[in-house]
């Protein structure tokens, strides 16, 4: 048995207890109790697969009971009403077709009127119709309203789910765009590899050609030089073919041998307020040099796009065996309002990762934005892609929303319970304090005499009076002032002492009953 069926069984048991309690008090026949319990079982266990049928079964039983009970002195059984409201809500959650609900409700209401007129023929038609109208109003409150609430909740869940689906679709599209940008960045890396490695292979071929035509070398050495030149040429050709496959057709965005200083000068000439700070001499491998150039280029492009008018500082420094590139801007005097797709930073992150480095990009505490890349000077093995980086942000947000919703539901239930508990404890504490402060011991009560002055009596009385005094059990004349006291602590006696005063003297003292049980003989003076 799964948890859903276990829950249905618990609901059926709880609703059946209501029926048994009411039917036992009314002394209804056993067949009637069995029929109601069977109808409840059908309604509860069909509320997921066939909610409208389950609701119809329980309402039909209630209609028959109402038709037989209206106009009689037996009273109207109401134990099925909570089940009808619950099943109506459940039907609205799962069966949102208004047509089906209207047809079912109309048939049940018509059946109630017809059965009422048929079974209560001795009653005037006007009274039967009036009773039917009253039942109709109650049905609107107890059946239609829960169904509408359930339907609203179903539509709300549907809209929420559709919203999450759309958010996930947008996120998938965004991830595809980022993946494409990363592929483009890899094609740029391939192009840089072609430029750097191809240049070195060309130098090898050139030197081999010089050896090949050197007359001072033996023939076998010139033949080896020729083979070396041919191998270098073949490697250059193969490299070009591989790079051609990797490239996506994008044109080179920078001159192949442009340095960071040249790039900064070119950006400054175009109107960007940028300065370059270089700390120490750096000898970088070709791939690391291209990665540093790419980070500076993309960061300057972002600064000019998103922070026009800001001052940008490019700092290239050496930290141990790493090169650190820091591009910081002061922030735009006026927001540019250009949306950011995040593709450029994704490409930078991929470029830096592939040469063994790390990149961070975040707003500065003093305003503006900052991009920091740290790369080994000689390059390194790329770090494996983090699983967390490819997780769905929408899924995380949905989990957060659900977690907050659960917390809100718990708080909504726990807060009233906590408040009620505190209020109950305070009320109980106050009741106990007043109860123990209003005890008039029996031996003291026995010493009191009719006609004794108030001053003498008050010296013997406790500090407080009873707060739950049985004032209605024994009426007293209007000019009497009566006080009530306990003979023992709270919950331990079924009587109280009443002392009445008038004209400054005690005029009556007697024992009064506080509960449904007569005072015990031990309480009789």
Query: What are residue 481's phi and psi, to 5 degrees?
Result: -110, 110
Q: How many CB atoms lie within 10 A of CB 327?
A: 24
Which range scores top for mean pLDDT: 191-205, 242-256, 398-412, 455-469?
455-469
In degrees rounded to 5, what are phi and psi of residue 183?
-65, -40
251 pLDDT above the threshold of 50 = no
At residue 326, the pLDDT reads 93
Is pLDDT at 371 greater than 90 in this prediction?
Answer: yes
pLDDT band at 250 (very low <50, low <70, confident <90, very high): very low
Distance set, CA 149 to CA 17, 87, 138 (Å): 26, 12, 16
Whether the per-residue pLDDT at 247 is higher than 70: the answer is no
Structure tokens at 509: 């003292």
Token output for 19: 């029926």
What average pLDDT does the segment 87-107 reach? 77
Looking at residue 521, its pLDDT comes to: 46
From residue 115, alpha-carbon distances to 68, 108, 297, 323, 454 in Å are 8, 10, 86, 92, 71
DSSP, res 448: -
pLDDT of the residue at 499 = 92
Look at strands 369-376 and 311-319 and give their pairing. Answer: unpaired
- Exposed, middle or buried: residue 125 (CB in 10 Å: 0-12, 13-18, 19+)? exposed
The Cα-based distances of 411 to 408, 418, 425 in angstroms read: 5, 10, 20
- Highest-pLDDT range among 139-143, 237-241, 400-404: 139-143
Predicted TM-score (pTM) of the model is: 0.38
Asked whether the predicted pLDDT for residue 189 surpasses 50, the reply is yes
Average pLDDT, the chain: 76
Give me the mean pLDDT over the 257-283 stretch. 82
Interval 320-329: pLDDT, tens: 888 999 999 9
Q: Which pLDDT belongs to residue 394?
A: 59
> How far is 109 from 136, CA to CA, in rounded Å?
7
Max avg pLDDT among 132-146, 340-354, 365-379: 365-379
Q: What is the pLDDT of residue 454?
A: 92
Residue 174 near residue 343, CB atoms below 8 Å: no
Residue 101 has pLDDT above 80, yes or no: no
Which pLDDT does position 1 carry in this prediction? 54
Confirm if 486 and 440 have CB atoms less than 8 A apart.
yes
pLDDT (tens digit per residue) in 9-60: 888 888 888 878 877 766 777 787 788 888 888 888 887 778 888 888 888 8
| Residue 402 pLDDT | 61
Is the pLDDT at 505 greater than 90? The verdict is yes
**Whole-number pLDDT of residue 259:** 83
CA 470 to chain centre: 52
Query: How much of the chain, in percent, has pLDDT values that exceed 90?
Result: 10
Instruction: Find the range with the poorest average confidence among 138-152, 249-263, 490-504.
Output: 249-263
Please give the structure tokens belonging to residue 157. 């869940």
Cα separation, 225 vs 234, in Å, equals 14
Q: Are 348 and 294 in contact (CB under 8 A)?
A: yes
Q: Which of the pair, 251 or 106, is modelled with greater confidence?
A: 106
> What order do you get walking across the sheet with 311-319 strand by strand?
273-279, 311-319, 322-329, 369-376, 358-363
Which DSSP category does 486 fall into? B
Q: Hey, which residues does 513 pair with through a beta bridge?
A: 495
Residue 374 confidence (pLDDT): 92
Residues of the chain with pLDDT > 70, as a percent, come to 71
């Amino acid at each position: 048995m799964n948890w859903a069926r276990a829950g249905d069984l618990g609901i059926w048991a709880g609703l059946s207890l209501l029926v048994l309690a009411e039917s036992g008090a009314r002394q209804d026949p056993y067949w009637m109790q069995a029929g109601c319990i069977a109808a409840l079982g059908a309604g509860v266990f069909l509320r997921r697969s066939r909610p409208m049928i389950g609701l119809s079964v329980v309402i039909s039983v209630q209609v028959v009971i109402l038709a037989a009970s209206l106009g009689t002195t037996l009273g109207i059984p109401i134990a099925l009403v909570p089940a009808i409201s619950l099943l109506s809500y459940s039907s609205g959650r799962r069966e949102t077709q208004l047509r089906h609900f209207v047809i079912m409700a109309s048939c049940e209401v018509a059946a109630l009127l017809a059965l009422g007129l048929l079974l209560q023929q001795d009653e005037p038609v006007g009274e039967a119709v009036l009773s039917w109208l009253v039942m109709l109003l109650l049905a609107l409150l107890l059946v239609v309203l829960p169904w509408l609430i359930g339907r609203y909740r179903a539509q709300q869940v549907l809209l929420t789910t559709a919203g999450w689906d759309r958010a996930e679709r947008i996120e998938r599209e965004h991830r595809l765009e980022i993946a494409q940008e990363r592929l483009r960045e890899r094609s740029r890396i391939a192009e840089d590899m072609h430029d750097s490695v191809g240049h070195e292979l060309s130098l090898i071929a050139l030197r081999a050609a010089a050896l090949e035509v050197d007359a001072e070398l033996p023939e076998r050495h010139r033949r080896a030089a020729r083979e070396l030149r041919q191998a270098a040429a073949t490697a250059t050709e193969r490299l070009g073919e591989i790079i051609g496959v990797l490239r996506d057709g994008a044109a080179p965005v920078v001159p192949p041998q442009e340095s960071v200083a040249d790039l900064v000068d070119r950006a400054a000439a175009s109107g960007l307020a940028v300065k370059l700070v270089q700390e120490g001499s750096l000898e970088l491998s070709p791939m690391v040099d291209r990665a540093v150039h790419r980070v500076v280029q993309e960061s300057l492009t972002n600064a000019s796009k998103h922070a026009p008018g800001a001052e940008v500082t490019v700092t290239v420094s050496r930290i141990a065996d790493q090169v650190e590139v820091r591009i910081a801007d002061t922030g735009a005097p006026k927001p540019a309002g250009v949306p950011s797709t995040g593709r450029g930073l994704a490409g930078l992150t991929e470029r830096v990762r592939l040469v063994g480095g790390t990149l961070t990009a975040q707003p500065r505490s003093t305003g503006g934005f900052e991009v920091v890349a740290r790369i080994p000077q000689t390059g390194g093995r790329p770090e494996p892609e983090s699983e967390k980086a490819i997780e769905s942000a929408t899924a995380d947000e949905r989990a957060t929303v659900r977690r907050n919703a659960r917390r809100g539901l718990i708080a909504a239930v726990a807060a009233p319970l906590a408040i009620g508990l505190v209020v109950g404890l305070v009320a109980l504490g106050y009741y106990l304090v007043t109860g123990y402060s209003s005890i008039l011991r029996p031996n003291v009560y026995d010493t009191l005499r009719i006609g004794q002055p108030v001053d003498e009596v008050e010296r013997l009385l406790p500090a407080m009076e009873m707060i739950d005094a049985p004032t209605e059990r024994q009426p007293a004349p209007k000019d009497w002032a009566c006080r009530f006291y306990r003979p023992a602590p709270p919950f331990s006696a079924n009587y109280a002492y009443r002392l009445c005063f008038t004209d400054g003297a005690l005029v009556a003292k007697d024992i009064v009953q506080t509960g449904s049980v007569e005072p015990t003989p031990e309480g009789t003076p």
